[in-house]
Amino acid sequence: MAEIVVVLFLIIVFIPAFLVFAVYLCYLGARDLQTFWTIVTTTPQSIDEITAQRGPIEVEGTATPSDEHGTVTGLFTETDCLVYTYSAQGRPGSGPDDARRSDDGKFDVLDEGTEYTKFYVEDETGRVLVDPAGATFELTPESYYNAPLSDTPTPVEEYMQRHPETRPPDTLIHPVISHFLRNHNRFVERRLDIGDTVYITGYKRTDTGWGTDEIIVDTGPNESEFVIYDRSKRWTAFEYGIYGLGKVIASLILAIMMLILLHENLQYLL
């Protein structure tokens, strides 16, 4: 009787749940592959080509500061940069009920934010001003601090004093075990640094509100896609392609395993 109950549980609950997860994973992979295809089938314009174009644009070059707008300072590293995002993350369950999960799904996000300034993108043909307001930032992590498992920099300590809800638990067990159990908090900073290669999809407009005809890249009308990557177009496409293909393959393997398990259990009942 117990074996029948287990088989029914597998058929009714366990296998369908993992099949649904496999479908969702395949969807995520297909979405990444679609982004990969969109990137590889378009060609970034040089700056001088942008000046003669209206509407959506795609540009790649070197990020440089504007003398008028200056730089911003990274919250956790105090590094001068053009854009930074920060995230204070705690062990699962340490945040409020509606706290979102970190990108890797291992922590609750306790606090996060972004600061940026207008900056230039330069290539051998010229430069164009970028207004990051409203952009989606795809920045690689520059700094991870696992408090209290590692030396915590002074800016992070000062931040925790201002935001006590982000202070990590006191570690009472071995650091290696604490790290495995995620009995610590993580502080992540991502930046667009001066001189970084930057790849941007956005919208070109000629700014009239500032009393200048300077070309500006921003969101444009109709909330057109505006994404800022701190890497080259080629590397961006490679990442989407690898991750998308990996998700699709993993979803297919999982689905096949579940179908085999389903077949075996149905054979057992029959």
Nearest in space to 64 (alpha carbons), one of 117, 113, 115: 117
Could you tell me which residues come within 8 angstroms of residue 58 by beta carbon, excluding any fewer than 6 positions away?
Answer: 42, 43, 44, 45, 199, 200, 201, 233
Model confidence band, residue 176 (pLDDT cutoffs 50, 70, 90): low
Nearest in space to 62 (alpha carbons), one of 194, 190, 191, 216: 194
State the CB neighbour count (10 A cutoff) for residue 17: 11
pLDDT of residue 174: 62
Are the beta carbons of 183 and 171 closer than 8 angstroms? yes
Are the beta carbons of 247 and 25 closer than 8 angstroms? yes
pLDDT in tens, 194-226: 999 999 888 877 654 545 556 677 776 655 588
Q: What's the rounded mean pLDDT across residues 79-83?
A: 95
Whether the pLDDT of residue 110 is over 60: the answer is yes
The terminus-to-terminus CA distance of the chain in angstroms comes to: 15
State the CB neighbour count (10 A cutoff) for residue 143: 17
Are the beta carbons of 202 and 130 closer than 8 angstroms? yes
- Structure tokens of 120? 């230039």
Whether the pLDDT of residue 140 is over 80: the answer is yes
Nearest in space to 217 (alpha carbons), one of 115, 137, 134: 134
Are the beta carbons of 87 and 187 closer than 8 angstroms? yes
Whether the pLDDT of residue 182 is over 90: the answer is no
The Cα–Cα gap between 9 and 1 comes to 12
Whether the pLDDT of residue 73 is over 90: the answer is yes
Element (H, E) at 149: none
Could you tell me which residues come within 8 angstroms of residue 87 by beta carbon, excluding any fewer than 6 positions away?
Answer: 102, 109, 111, 112, 186, 187, 188
Could you tell me which residues come within 8 angstroms of residue 65 by beta carbon, excluding any fewer than 6 positions away?
Answer: 71, 82, 117, 119, 120, 194
- Which pTM does this prediction carry? 0.75
- Structure tokens of 102? 């970190």
Model confidence band, residue 99 (pLDDT cutoffs 50, 70, 90): confident
pLDDT of residue 222: 59
Could you tell me which residues come within 8 angstroms of residue 185 by beta carbon, excluding any fewer than 6 positions away?
Answer: 88, 89, 90, 91, 94, 107, 110, 146, 147, 166, 167, 168, 169
pLDDT of residue 208: 46
pLDDT in tens, 24-72: 999 999 988 988 887 777 777 778 877 766 678 888 899 999 988 999 9
Model confidence band, residue 181 (pLDDT cutoffs 50, 70, 90): low
Alpha helices for the chain (secondary structure H): 2-9, 15-40, 47-50, 154-162, 175-180, 233-269
Lowest-confidence segment of 7-11, 53-57, 173-177 by average pLDDT: 173-177
pLDDT of residue 207: 55
pLDDT of residue 215: 66
